[in-house]
Structure 1
Amino acid sequence: MDGTVGAVSRNGVYSFTKPNRESITLLAGLGVEGDVHAGETVKHRSRMRKDPSQPNLRQVHLMHEELFDEVRAAGFEVAAGQLGENVTTRGIDLPALPTGTRLRLGEDAVVEVTGLRNPCAQIDGFHKGLLKQVVERGADGSVRFKAGIMGVVAAGGVVRPGDPITVELPDGPHRPLHIV
């Protein structure tokens, strides 16, 4: 179940997309150095309006590159960083991971998975109709969110494209991811 870092991205200003970088530095308890969403307390504007003192469970946004392949088959061109993620992965079904999974990125960095990204209307602003591609409805009416996962930085370090990702599942029973 291990994978690889495909791309890393950050942006110091609020913007839907994040430019790719040669590397990013993860800071324990804060997030991505130089990224607008870094901090101990929530930095997403909608969540700040509700309660700016709540803990930031969305310090790092990870998205599986396989989603880009999937939406490409439906006619949408999406590249790493364009949906606002900090780390694009390859080889791991991120939305299927349980809460509390630890992802070792490169030599030192560790991200603890806190939950799912809530796909928002900005995705349709980027590409009209794309939101329906990242929110899947099952025959039973269940909803599966595929727009990536969120986590907090448990251990800092530099992360680069090509770095290995090691998945460490939490002790059971496993809890499925929910939107954070």
Structure 2
Amino acid sequence: MMGVLLGIARHAIVKGPMEAISEAEITFAGGVAGDYRGAMKGKPYKRQVTLIERGDWVAAMAEVGHTIDWIERRSNLLVDGLDLPQVAGVRLRIGADVVLEVTRETDPCERMEALAEGLKAALLPDWRGGACAKVIAEGHIKVGDSISIEE
């Protein structure tokens, strides 16, 4: 099964605004280059890159009756056409070079409730809030790249 990378976003400072970008370097040291969260210290750091499925975000928006841009979820990568694995240890390949390993579910925080009443709860079932991952192989990604589960 193969999906497509629909969006890339990052934020340079804690609680700073998200910036949508069309391409990015993915590194061991910083996750999505220029993203505050990817450069966090600590070993092993399990939240270098966050991913969310377009369909899950759309479903959550329908549940709360809003239309809010996906970057407000504060995820780094928006994917479509691929059911993100809901188990730690599964590896995802993006484009030709980048490999990420799912580490855990991305827990929705109170910031989601500030965006829309009920959004935090709408993101809780079935990892709808997304997945956290660590970088296994560095490289360059761009919107439109393929994303698949590595066998």
How does the TM-score come out when normalised to structure 1? 0.76
Once the two structures are superposed, residues 6-52 of structure 1 have per-residue CA deviations (whole angstroms, 9 ceiling, x without a partner) of 100111112275221011210025411111012362xxxxxxxxxxx
Once the two structures are superposed, residues 109-151 of structure 1 have per-residue CA deviations (whole angstroms, 9 ceiling, x without a partner) of 1111111011111110122221121123xxxxxxx43100000
> Higher strand fraction: Structure 1 or Structure 2?
2
Asked if 2 retains the 8 angstrom alpha-carbon contact of 1:60 and 1:150, the reply is yes
Aligned length: 150
Identity of matched residues, %: 27
1:106 matched to 2:90? The reply is no
Asked if 2 retains the 8 angstrom alpha-carbon contact of 1:8 and 1:21, the reply is yes
> Higher helix fraction: Structure 1 or Structure 2?
2
Q: Which amino acid aligns with 1:101?
A: V
SS in 2 for 1:81: helix
1:150 matched to 2:150? The reply is no
Structure 1 residue runs of 4 or more that deviate by more than 3 Å after TM superposition: none
Aligned Cα root-mean-square deviation (Å): 1.8
Q: Which residue of 1 aligns with 2:143?
A: 161
Cα 1:67–1:18 change in 2 (3 A) is: same
Distance in 2, matches of 1:149 and 1:133, equals 15
Distance in 2, matches of 1:13 and 1:40, equals 11
